[in-house]
Amino acid sequence: MPLPLPFGRRRLLAVTGAGVALLPLPHAARADAGQVRLVSPRAGARALADYPYWVARKLGYFSDIAAPLDPGATDPTGGARLVDRGLADLGSPAPVLFAMGLEQGMRLVSVWQIGATDPLSVAFRKGEAGSGLRGLTGKTLLLDHAARKLYCDTWLAAAEMEPRTVTYAEAGPDWGQALAQGKGDAALAWDGLPAQWQAQGFAFDYLPARATTHFPGTSLLARASDLADPARRDLLGRYLRGWAMGMAFAEANPRAAAHIATQATPDLATLLPPPVATAALLQIAAGFRGDMDKRKGWGWHDTDQWAALFAAARQAGQISLPIKPADVVSNDLIATANDFTAAQVKSDAQGYVLPPDFAQVDVAALAAQF
């Protein structure tokens, strides 16, 4: 199946993926009026970023709402399409893919900004970062998946760089190892990966996107029709309360959140030992949180960030028409989502019984490393 979102005119080096395939979902998304079906694009170690969902499910924060999670598509572009087609209720593609979907006519609205800041970064071998993004001119940037070229083009455009001056190479799931082996000049990374790559023995320097641009992190998208339906709107607000509680739980006890997330995903427990899982979660959670003194609760959208993203996407040629954040991002569910008893969540977190291997993790020492 070809990607419905264009890759642009330039070819990538070593594109080895077998294409895009949608995984069958067991039920239609609207089969149960009390159900919210989330489709996640994450795979492997990235599933740790779904920790608010896993915590909410483990602790019963979704209450009586059926809250299935489906893997959805095998590429990062699938979430928006599945929601638009009615095969899921919420999806979390990257903001630039959201913008492209809107231009294609998808009637979607971002209802929950998962990350307060852009989680992406560029990894360089030690001492080779040079002059930041501009140092990438004429260089090769390694990607795990070709679709991430779209993110990078927008990022470079925001930095007033011509994307065509950088060569992208898809290196597959071991793209970090490829960078360490000198098969490229830099590699795309995101919050959580530095801890994992350090554990693998890769010593890299990182340039985070938030240091060079003002973009939002990934968000949860819903159909505009659901937001306009009072019953569905109420259901989504109560569902997102589970996400808010899951994030607050992790703030109070990151080791517990890391344990819950790794236990929920079979591959994670083997891939991420407790110190690595906890360190990675600390990095991810910092990006999710951002500056809470400036945010109006968990999940709140900063419309200035979205305006910057949409402008950069247009500058990069990803979209051709202007998009107004007020039309496609909504903070209408934020008050409902954040209406919970913080003291009870904190008590839940502090009372969580950790297994010995997680109990021995020194959170303060890990936080000081990154």
Token pair 């893997």 is found at: 71
**Nearest Cα residue to 157 out of 304, 319, 12:** 319
Residues 231 and 258 in one domain: yes
**Nearest Cα residue to 90 out of 69, 74, 76:** 69
Residues 206 and 233 in one domain: no
Half-sphere exposure of 315 (CA within 13 A, CB side): 19
Which CATH number goes with the domain that contains 297? Answer: 3.40.190.10
Quote the mean pLDDT of the chain. Answer: 87
Residues 179 and 253 in one domain: no
Residues 163 and 299 in one domain: no
288 falls within a domain:
yes
Residues 195 and 303 in one domain: no
Mention every residue, 6+ apart, whose C-beta is less than 8 A from residue 98.
Answer: 80, 108, 110, 219, 221, 328
Q: At CA 191, angle to CA 186 and CA 193, rounded to 5?
A: 60
- pTM of the shown model: 0.88
Residues 207 and 224 in one domain: no
pLDDT of residue 261: 94
pLDDT of residue 41: 62
pLDDT in tens, 218-277: 999 999 999 999 999 999 999 999 999 999 999 999 999 999 999 988 778 888 999 999
pLDDT per residue rounded down to tens, the chain (370 residues)? 223 333 333 333 333 333 223 333 333 334 456 999 998 765 433 478 999 999 999 999 999 999 999 876 555 556 788 899 998 999 998 899 999 999 999 999 999 999 999 999 999 999 998 777 888 999 999 999 888 898 899 989 988 888 889 999 999 999 999 999 999 999 999 999 999 999 999 999 999 988 888 999 999 999 999 999 999 999 999 999 999 999 999 999 999 999 999 998 877 888 899 999 999 999 999 999 999 999 999 999 999 999 999 999 999 999 999 999 999 999 999 999 999 999 999 999 999 999 999 999 999 999 888 7
Q: Which domain holds residue 156?
A: 120-211
Q: How many domains does the chain have?
A: 2
Residues 252 and 324 in one domain: yes
Residues 281 and 165 in one domain: no
